[in-house]
Amino acid sequence: MRVVYLQSTARGLVWFQKYYTTIFPEGGRLAREQLKQAELHLVDNPMIGRSINEQSLRLVRLTRTPFSLVYRVAADRIEIIDVIDHRSDLDVANK
């Protein structure tokens, strides 16, 4: 299994990078490590995230960050659908 970021993650990834380069640069290294760890955990255990809706979407938090990955498990890959910042007023469960 491999992790694939879909086009729909572009805005969330840009915000993740901008946040850790301009707003909170001292947390950037840890955040990138947490993102990589989440990817590795998903490969080892794709169902680790909690189910968030009836469309088989799941959510896994990036430890010690305000970000999470929204994903779905496909036959041969894990598709990252979105990167969200929990400090926004976005309602993930209704996405």
Domain residue limits at 28: 2-87
Domain annotation covers residue 94: no
User: The tokens 């970000």 sit on which residue?
Assistant: 67
Q: What is the pLDDT along the chain (95 residues), one digit of tens a residue?
A: 999 999 999 999 999 999 999 999 999 999 999 999 999 999 999 999 999 987 899 999 999 999 999 999 999 999 999 999 999 855 454 44
Q: Give how far the C-alpha of residue 16 lies from the chain's centroid of Cα atoms, to the nearest Å.
A: 10
> Is 0.85 topped by the overall pTM?
yes
The single residue listed with the structure tokens 């969200």 is: 84
Buried b (16+ CB within 10 A) or exposed e, 55-69: eebbbbbbeebbbbb
Tokens of 17: 């990078």
> Any idea what the CATH number is for the domain that residue 18 is in?
3.30.2310.20
